[in-house]
Structure 1
Amino acid sequence: MKTNKLLNAIGLAALLFLNISCEDILKEEPKSLATADRYYTTPKGIEDGLSAAYSHLRSFYGQEQGFFLTVTGTDIFTNGFGGIANSPDINNYSPNLLGTNAMITTVWDSFYKGINQSNTIIGRAPSVTGLNEQQKARIIGEARFLRALYYFHLVQQFGDVHFTLEETIGVQTTANRTPLAEIYAKGIVPDLAYAVANLPLTPGKYGQATKPAAEALLARVQLTIGNWAQAETLAKSVIDNPAFKLVTPYAALWNINNDVNSEIIWAVQFTGDPLTNGPGNSGHLYFIFDYTFNPAMVRNIDDGRPYQRFLPTNHLIKLFDPAIDSRWNGSFKTVWRANRTATINGFTVNPGDTSIKIVRYPVPDNVKRSKPYWLIDFKDNWIGSVTAFQEVGTNNRRNHPALLKFLDPLRPSVNETAGRRDFPVIRLAEMYLVAAEAAMKQGKNEVAANYINVIRNRAAIPGKEQQMRVSAADITLDFILEERARELAGEMHRWYDLKRTGKLLELVKKYNRDAAPNIKEMHLVRPIPQTQIDRVTNPGEFYQNQGY
């Protein structure tokens, strides 16, 4: 059970309380009106404002738009049935991927709201009375951590973007296109260095940014901009921190009752309280197949409400060896149980019986028809265009292994979309992968293999640890990307991983047949939202990304 959670859904409007009665309003004689200028001068006000700076992360992490921009359009996920029906263009890099895309606009707007709120706290905290210098430095450190994270996403997604470190007050009609290298040098890196120097080792409230979280995010940043030694040093600092350890077994990471665990370095929080949960973590909707087509299945809370947005590619399915690696069964649901009586292949199936089973190898159709359940096999036909009988990808991309990492069996009803599960933004396994990649880039393949073997040992089926070990000779960039796919599938890293390593176009063309015909160099950045282009009065200086 989560305790002392930082309820970061607090928005600024919710903080500006009117201490007046209805009768006073009618008489137009308000006794007091809280404003930002007054409210943020108090310790409680500045802390509440800081909480509001966290809240905009909930518009990205665990949300459809965030998943579309980080999970699909890669080598390991493509559009499922719901993705094609609702938003095919991001994955497909189609000519319709334009600045009018609503998901891209939502992400852009949310991040800049988060940046301005962070700038507000950073600028106002030094003047707050009732706080000592250490408390002010901690508050500013959290806000600078958040500002760095928002800008880090923006420059990766859009390239050169508007950059400011000052609070925007009133209407601003001009914008700048600051080179991303300058944003890293003057914003992201110094913000995170300040956070590392001033944040505590442990949070005062669960969910607050800490020194290890800042080190981990800075390690990710340094890896992205090619500072390999710094990336390894920072990642190793987190790895060596005794407060964190890998959760064993791997599947236990995704037990919703184990949401707060020793592997989570920092998470965006959600809660079971609808008053403070905002949009909720809706990740449970998008990665599951529509099991309700099976005659013995009706929609239920445990198996989820299937939106079917994202479909694992053949490449992702083939990356796992379930005989030695627990991460296949720890990441994907492949067996469903009946919850009503029905007939399948002439057999009576009762609640609790197997109703669907997915296997990763070919099975003759006559064998599949002889089973008292749907036996769905994998023949390595392109998963997006299979029409054969009960094969992975059939039923218009509805039938496929279901990513279980975000399932939310604690939702109050079968149709509830607002999940309560926290979203793990940074976990310890990623730091081993960051350190390994950084070591490899420095020519230290033996060191890289040692980092990789720690997470592969955790993932090993008991008794298969030796088969899971790798040597220095195994360490290549492609292998590290494959290992990141096995460990982090669906966790909103993949598009960034492929872009960072220069592999986006190559691997998408090789493994994502929906996107392969369209993807080109221009797609290394997203289109600037048209609403932003239309609003500025200096369009000659603030222009659309090339090709859009």
Structure 2
Amino acid sequence: MKTINKISIFALAAALTLSTSGCSGFLDEDLKKDLAPDNTYTSTYGFEVGATGLYAWARAEFSTWDNDGAFTHSQACPYEALQVATDIVVAAHKDGSLLPFENLSYTTSQAYVESYWKWAYGLISSANELLEYSEHDDVKWDADTDKIFYQATARFFRAYAYRYLVYLYGDVTYVDKVETSFKIDFTRTPKTEVLQHMIDDLTFAAEYLPANPDNVEVGKLTKWAALHLLSEVYLMADKNQEAANTAKEVINSNYFQLMSSRFGKAIEEPGDVFSDMFKENNQNRTSGNKETIWVMQLEYNTTGGGTLYEDWTKRAWVPKYWNIDGFTLADSLGGRGLAQIVPIKWWVNGDNFYDATDIRNSEYNIKRNWYCNDPSSDKYGQKAEITDETWEIGNLCPTITKFFYGKTDENASYEGNNKDRMKFRLAETYLLLAEASINLGDTQTAADAINVVRERSGASKINAGQATIDFLLDERIRELVGEELRRFTLVRTGKLLERTKKYNTVSGPKMDEHHALWPIPQSIIDSNTGAEYPQNPGYSK
């Protein structure tokens, strides 16, 4: 049972963004009366309701369709749009909402160009509203520390939302208060200023969020989640020493450890410790997983969990094996995948990309052997061969098993992937330390950090001379593929163009430097009639 209550998430999130929506008819009268900010933000309980709305809005970052959630992109592939046109995957499903992002033909009015903007500013407006009401003198707080705790939560989520905006659009408007009047003269704030605001927010959050992860409810933030994200933001701001120091603070906190022995619900089943982390119900600290720093609660059909359409990552990675004669849908094969993306061969089948002893390359973590599973077929038990054709169209190819989860016992064609999602885990903190150290020229510290991660997987150690940005980016694939937003990582390291051209034969030939940013949504430019709002270079209407 989750402990973060859902509390009518759609209504809540809508209510908390009312004052900045500019749409007086957005909510019905009962909702305005019952959940309006003036009525909600009067007590500690009201701020807990508001904070629940922030969590709900944040976990809708990849939401595909409206299913009583806080936000929806209303398209099938928002997550995949941040993975294609990089060095790891190409589109197999040929979904019409995804292809423009793979072939780099997206426009200033394209679906995700607009919806990620709206998602991020919706979260920001809700955070700003909570912050503003927290300063009212008539709030009845249960404890003296409540006010600053909820402010820390709101400031974390505000920085979290700006992370998306800065990566995707560059210079964006920084808003830190509720706009009570209609405003049409926004300007773009330089990226460096926005990053500094994010640093300030996360520094504040780290100071006032709880320190002991064993004393918070499942899925709630701690100071270590704020510091992990702060380390990444320092890297974005080219403050590498600060990034290294912050990553070390998380690593040395003694609250977290890389999992090195089997644990959780599948401990008696075939597998290894890496695959254990991705088994259903093994993501949270309560399962014995001491590696996770922040887990987004997405488990379906559970109070405080996700909705049916909030995370389709399984459908993205799992092949359409069920489309091949001799197969039937099975939870053990990942459920009903759609192969919206398939891995590029250079890494998943590349010679020497994984050490022979690296468990991240085991059959438990990358499925390469597919056996017909339909008992009614005369092919039952036979191995199905992966060919160039089956790979290209997504019917059969090697796939990571991180997102295997089908719920076929309830519904064989179950749409979602809703198991809890590890957003931050300690292995990535080590790799953030390595990145900062490489940037500082301290390749020995970088190698040491990378080796901690490799040692857990059974891979051989590297020396300081091997600790380069390209090796680190390869290591992030081995460790974090599917978890990280690859576009963000490559943009931050300045490697998007180089590595996409090198490894991606679909997007690479079409990519140039301006594709490091998406365009500003045209609707924003058109409605901002009181001031110029320049478009990003390389884009027009």
**TM more than 0.5:** yes
Given that 1:15 and 1:48 are in contact with CA atoms closer than 8 Å, whether structure 2 keeps it comes out as no
Structure 2 residue aligned with 1:73: 85
Picking from 379, 383, 396, the partner of 1:373 is 383
Helix, strand or coil for the counterpart of 1:160?
coil
Given that 1:8 and 1:269 are in contact with CA atoms closer than 8 Å, whether structure 2 keeps it comes out as no
Given that 2:447 and 2:463 are in contact with CA atoms closer than 8 Å, whether structure 1 keeps it comes out as yes
What is the alpha-carbon distance in structure 2 between the residues aligned to residue 59 and residue 3 of structure 1? Answer: 17
Given that 2:370 and 2:383 are in contact with CA atoms closer than 8 Å, whether structure 1 keeps it comes out as no
1:88 matches 2:99: yes
Given that 1:295 and 1:342 are in contact with CA atoms closer than 8 Å, whether structure 2 keeps it comes out as no
Structure 1 residue aligned with 2:210: 200
Q: After superposition, what is the alpha-carbon deviation per residue over 1:435-472, rounded to whole angstroms, capped at 9, x for unaligned?
A: 11112222222221111111101111xxxx5xx11111
Given that 2:317 and 2:339 are in contact with CA atoms closer than 8 Å, whether structure 1 keeps it comes out as yes
1:121 matches 2:120: no
The AA in structure 2 aligned to 1:181 is T
Structure 2 residue aligned with 1:520: 512
Helix, strand or coil for the counterpart of 1:426?
strand
Moved more, 321-330 or 138-147: 321-330
Q: Which runs of 5+ in 2 are unaligned?
A: 17-28, 65-75, 261-272
Structure 1 residue aligned with 2:370: 336
Structure 2 residue aligned with 1:361: none
Q: After superposition, what is the alpha-carbon deviation per residue over 1:170-194, rounded to whole angstroms, capped at 9, x for unaligned?
A: 6433322111111112x20100010
Deviation of residue 3 (structure 1)?
4.3
Deviation of residue 204 (structure 1)?
2.9
Q: Which runs of 5+ in 1 are unaligned?
A: 18-27, 354-371, 378-385
What is the alpha-carbon distance in structure 2 between the residues aligned to residue 421 and residue 399 of structure 1? Answer: 24
Aligned residue-pair number = 489
Structure 1 residue aligned with 2:68: none
1:413 matches 2:414: no
1:257 matches 2:258: no
Given that 1:522 and 1:547 are in contact with CA atoms closer than 8 Å, whether structure 2 keeps it comes out as yes
Picking from 299, 306, 310, the partner of 1:280 is 310
What is the alpha-carbon distance in structure 2 between the residues aligned to residue 85 and residue 14 of structure 1? Answer: 29
Q: How does 1:193-272 map to 2 (within 5 A)?
A: 193-201=203-211, 202=213, 204-248=216-260, 249-260=273-284, 261-272=289-300
Structure 2 residue aligned with 1:476: 468
Q: After superposition, what is the alpha-carbon deviation per residue over 1:378-415, rounded to whole angstroms, capped at 9, x for unaligned?
A: xxxxxxxx44xxxx624x34331122212223463122
Q: Tell me the percent identity.
A: 29
The AA in structure 1 aligned to 2:243 is A
Q: How does 1:50-449 map to 2 (within 5 A)?
A: 50-61=51-62, 65-80=77-92, 82-83=93-94, 85-94=96-105, 97-127=106-136, 128-169=139-180, 171-185=182-196, 187-201=197-211, 202=213, 204-248=216-260, 249-260=273-284, 261-273=289-301, 277-278=306-307, 279-303=309-333, 304-317=335-348, 318=350, 320-321=353-354, 323-329=356-362, 330-341=364-375, 348-350=378-380, 353=381, 372-376=382-386, 386-387=388-389, 393-394=391-392, 396-410=393-407, 412-449=410-447
Given that 2:243 and 2:436 are in contact with CA atoms closer than 8 Å, whether structure 1 keeps it comes out as yes
Given that 1:292 and 1:298 are in contact with CA atoms closer than 8 Å, whether structure 2 keeps it comes out as yes
CA gap 1:31/1:3 in 2 versus in 1, 3 angstroms: closer
CA gap 1:172/1:29 in 2 versus in 1, 3 angstroms: closer
The AA in structure 1 aligned to 2:440 is Q
Moved more, 402-411 or 68-77: 402-411
Structure 2 residue aligned with 1:533: 525
TM-score, normalised via structure 1 length: 0.83
Moved more, 293-302 or 281-290: 293-302
Deviation of residue 8 (structure 1)?
8.2
CA gap 1:178/1:269 in 2 versus in 1, 3 angstroms: same
Q: After superposition, what is the alpha-carbon deviation per residue over 1:191-238, rounded to whole angstroms, capped at 9, x for unaligned?
A: 001011111113632222210001100011112221111111111111
TM-score, normalised via structure 2 length: 0.84
What is the alpha-carbon distance in structure 2 between the residues aligned to residue 518 and residue 15 of structure 1? Answer: 39
Moved more, 35-44 or 106-115: 35-44
What is the alpha-carbon distance in structure 2 between the residues aligned to residue 291 and residue 179 of structure 1? Answer: 47
Picking from 450, 453, 466, the partner of 2:451 is 453
**Which one has a bigger Cα radius of gyration?**
1
Helix, strand or coil for the counterpart of 2:152?
helix
Helix, strand or coil for the counterpart of 1:305?
coil
Helix, strand or coil for the counterpart of 2:299?
coil
Given that 1:280 and 1:417 are in contact with CA atoms closer than 8 Å, whether structure 2 keeps it comes out as no
